[in-house]
Amino acid sequence: MPCGSCRWQCVLGLFWLTQLWTAVEADFPEDTYPASVLEDAKLSTVQLLAKYKYPGETHTVTTEDKYVLQMHRIARPGAKPVLLMHGLLDSSATWILMGPHSGLGYFLYDAGYDVWLGNVRGNRYSRSHVKLNPDTDKSYWSFSWHEIGYYDLPALIDAVLAKTGYQKLSYFGHSQGTTSFFVMASTRPEYNAKIHVMSALAPVGYMTNMQCPFIGIGHRVLPMIGEGQEILPYFKGFSICMMSETVMDICMFYFWRMFGKDPPETNMTMLPAMFAHVPAGANSNQFLHYLQLQKSDRFCAYDHGEKENQRIYGRSKPPDYPLEKVTAPVALYYTQNDYLSAVKDVKRLIKRLPNVVENHMYPYKKWNHMDLIWGISARRLAQPRMLEVMQFYEANGAQNRTESKHEDTEDSTTTEAAQTEETEEPEGFLSHSLKYIMNYLFYD
Ligand SMILES: *[C@@H]1O[C@H](CO)[C@@H](O)[C@H](O)[C@H]1NC(C)=O
Ligand SMILES: *[C@@H]1O[C@H](CO)[C@@H](O)[C@H](O)[C@H]1NC(C)=O
């Protein structure tokens, strides 16, 4: 352990040194990106909504265990409510940051909905508690996505229903926004009755076949960082990736290694906004819990170690989440080049969910973990069907229950963007060397 952490500090030190070095010979982003995009990078969710002339609101919600969450709203009073939950290290901004011509939040609002954008505990908007101070109280950081599912989602759902007067809402989750939903709907099954339909974008339950090349690093580095540590918090509109073109290249390299490489679907003009809004902060336990799933080949509660497990669960191993209790209609949308949510794992999840109403695997071979919310073609090729399915289950309540069809047979020629030849990005000497060093250190 002492040796290990020294090595980790060395790596970090080296990393920052190279960052500084590259920054010195920086190309300034001001020369490369439109002023409007650089401005978007600095605005908060409600400021973005105001800039693009949408009626943004902020609502505060306190959970049963006294965490104070901020929920944003694109307000259409009286209209049917829909709640959108972001993924790990992300925030409410994810649904709108690509702009009115692209974001799912705008799309649903324009389609006549009252759109609510949640934020989970620990991120930049929800880093608050009635009693605990996240900066000084270690016990603030004693949660993973289990608590997000068990406490945050019910609180947010109840708040939306109370404020709108509706009995039910529709739910969209991306990545961790789906994991936490499955936690909620299986451990507090009474909440299923409050959901018209849950749309799972890049769903994550089982993680056994995750291809992300950072799993090895994760298993080594996260235990050194330890449990209950804040990870990658938000720094006031400052993004390390924006320091220079070279650093940007490096960020893109890691972005694609993390989520799956898909340059044709990535709007390069928007990089400042993407990298400034994400990461938005999380707890190391959220990562640790995911790594436990990957290692254990199960979808189960947090493993605290045998002794603690005995005390908390009354058994040495954490219990599986009872997915058979997720009775709300679930529509799943997933992609084939998703390094975090493997097709095989999604299919296993589908087998265990009792009420799957849409099983939608996109035929575009390169679509990755982020493309369903940030991808250039998402508005055209994904959002309309999501809306159609949602409207169907809102109107009928009845189930179309056509045994997991819609295994897409669409021809992939329908997307020019997804078809464009991959252009290898030119690589500077510095970024090349840095990658080489990082790879050497991490993949030995
Ligand atoms: C990329 O983003 C810019 C800036 O928001 C936008 O003007 C442009 O239309 C986007 N490109 C595509 C292909 O969507
Ligand atoms: C439900 O089934 C009908 C008839 O088979 C079909 O036309 C419709 O598109 C389906 N709706 C959804 C949301 O799958």
Domain ranges across the chain: 2-442
Structure confidence by residue, pLDDT tens digits, 93-145: 999 999 999 999 999 999 999 999 999 999 999 999 999 999 999 999 999 99
Q: Residue whose CA is closest, atom 13 of ligand 2?
A: 389
396 lines ligand 2 (CB under 6 A): no
Out of 191-200, 271-280, 351-360, which region has the weakest mean confidence (pLDDT)? 271-280
φ, ψ for residue 315 (rounded to 5)? -160, 165
What DSSP assignment string belongs to 175-223?
THHHHHHHHHHHHSGGGGGGEEEEEEES--S--TT---TTHHHHHHHHH
- Coil vs helix vs strand at 78: coil
Span of 21-30, 223-232, 261-270, 360-369 with lowest mean pLDDT = 21-30
Category of 392 on φ-ψ map: left (φ > 0), alpha (ψ -120 to 50) or beta = alpha
Q: Is the pLDDT of residue 415 over 90?
A: no
* Ligand 1 center–CA 396 separation, angstroms: 37
**What local confidence, expressed as pLDDT, does residue 411 receive?**
38
Find the mean pLDDT for residues 377-386: 97
Question: Counting atoms of ligand 1 from 1, which one is nearest the CA of 417?
Answer: 13
What is the reported pLDDT for 249? 83
Calculate what percentage of the chain has a pLDDT beyond 90: 72
How remote is the CA of residue 400 from the centroid of ligand 2, in Å?
Answer: 6
Q: Residue 375 — left, alpha, or beta (φ > 0 → left; ψ -120 to 50 → alpha)? A: beta
Reported as a single tens digit per residue, the pLDDT across 332-343 is 999 999 999 999
Query: Which residue of 33, 38, 102, 269 sits with most ligand 1 atoms within 8 Å of its CB, as the best mutation to test the pocket?
Result: 269
Q: Which token pair is 304?
A: 């605290």
129 close to 155: Cβ distance less than 8 angstroms = no
Q: Supply the pLDDT for residue 251.
A: 87
Mean pLDDT of 49-74: 98
**Ramachandran assignment for 267, one of left (phi > 0), alpha (psi -120 to 50 degrees), beta (any other):** beta
Are the CB atoms for 129 and 67 separated by under 8 Å? Answer: yes
pLDDT at 439: 57
Nearest CA to ligand 1 atom 13: 376
For range 363-377, the mean pLDDT: 97
From 8-22, 47-61, 412-426, the region with the lowest mean pLDDT: 412-426
Q: What is the pLDDT of residue 26?
A: 57
Q: Is the peptide bond before 318 cis (omega within 30 degrees of 0)?
A: no
Ligand nearest to the CA of 386: 2
Selection from 230, 252, 232 nearest residue 241 by Cα: 252
For residue 102, what are its two tokens? 């692209």
Sign of the torsion angle spanned by Cα atoms 120, 227, 178, 182: negative
Burial class (CB in 10 A: 0-12, 13-18, 19+), 386: buried
Other Cβ atoms closer than 10 A to 409 = 6
301 pLDDT exceeds 50? yes
Q: Which residue is closest in CA terms to ligand 2's atom 3?
A: 400
In the reported structure, the alpha carbon of residue 210 is separated from the centroid of ligand 2 by a whole-number distance in angstroms of 32
Atom 4 in ligand 2: residue holding the nearest Cα? 400
CB 266 within 8 A of CB 423: no
Phi, psi angles (nearest 5°) of residue 398: -65, 165
- What is this structure's pTM? 0.86
**Any ligand 2 atom below 6 A from CB of 392:** yes
Ligand 1 neighbours, Cβ below 6 Å, are 37, 99, 267, 269-270, 376
Mean pLDDT, range 2-15, rounded to an integer: 64
Give the ligand whose atoms come closest to the C-alpha of residue 385. Answer: 2
DSSP lists the bridge partners of residue 81 as 114
Residue 32: the pLDDT is 80
The DSSP string of 87-148 is -TT--GGGGTTT-TTT-HHHHHHHTT-EEEE---TTSTTS--BSS--TTT-GGGG---HHHI
Question: 23 pLDDT exceeds 50?
Answer: yes
- Give CA–CA dist 56/45, Å, rounded: 8
For the CA atoms of 104, 112, 78, 173, the dihedral, rounded to the nearest 10 degrees, stands at -20
Give residue 402 CA to ligand 2 midpoint distance, Å: 9
pLDDT tens across 276-298, in order? 999 999 999 999 999 999 999 99
pLDDT for 403 beyond 90: no
Res. 406 pLDDT band, cuts 50 70 90: very low
State the CATH architecture for 2-442. Answer: 3-Layer(aba) Sandwich (3.40)
What value does the mean pLDDT of the chain take? 88
CA of 267 to the centre of ligand 1 (A): 6
What residue has token string 């080049």?
337
Instruction: Locate the ligand 1 atom nearest the alpha carbon of residue 99 and give its number.
Output: 5
Helix (H, G, I), strand (E, B) or coil at 306: helix
Residue predicted with more confidence, 110 or 236? 110
* Region 73-98 average pLDDT: 97
Alpha carbon of 360 to ligand 2 centroid (Å): 14
Per-residue confidence band for 432, with pLDDT thresholds at 50, 70 and 90: low
Best mutation site among 43, 270, 371, 383 for ligand 1 pocket (most ligand atoms within 8 Å of CB): 270
Instruction: Please work out, in degrees rounded to the nearest 5, the angle formed at the alpha carbon of residue 79 by the alpha carbons of 74 and 85.
Output: 45
User: Which of 8-17, 52-61, 196-205, 334-343 shows the lowest per-residue confidence on average (mean pLDDT)?
Assistant: 8-17
Give 269 Cα–ligand 1 centroid separation in angstroms.
Answer: 7
- How far the first Cα of the chain sits from its last, in Å, is 18
Q: Which residues contact 6 (CB under 8 A, 6 or more apart)?
A: none
Output phi, psi for 11, to 5 deg.
Answer: -60, -45
Nearest atom (ligand 2) to Cα of 388: 13
Q: Which residues are identified as catalytic?
A: 175, 369
Kindly report the protein residue whose alpha carbon is nearest to atom 2 of ligand 2.
400
SS3 content of the chain, % helix, strand, coil (to 5): 50, 15, 40
- Decide: 389 in ligand 2 pocket, CB within 6 A: yes
- Looking at all shown ligands, the one closest to residue 405's CA atom is 2
The ligand that comes nearest to the alpha carbon of residue 390 is 2
Give residue 238's pLDDT.
72
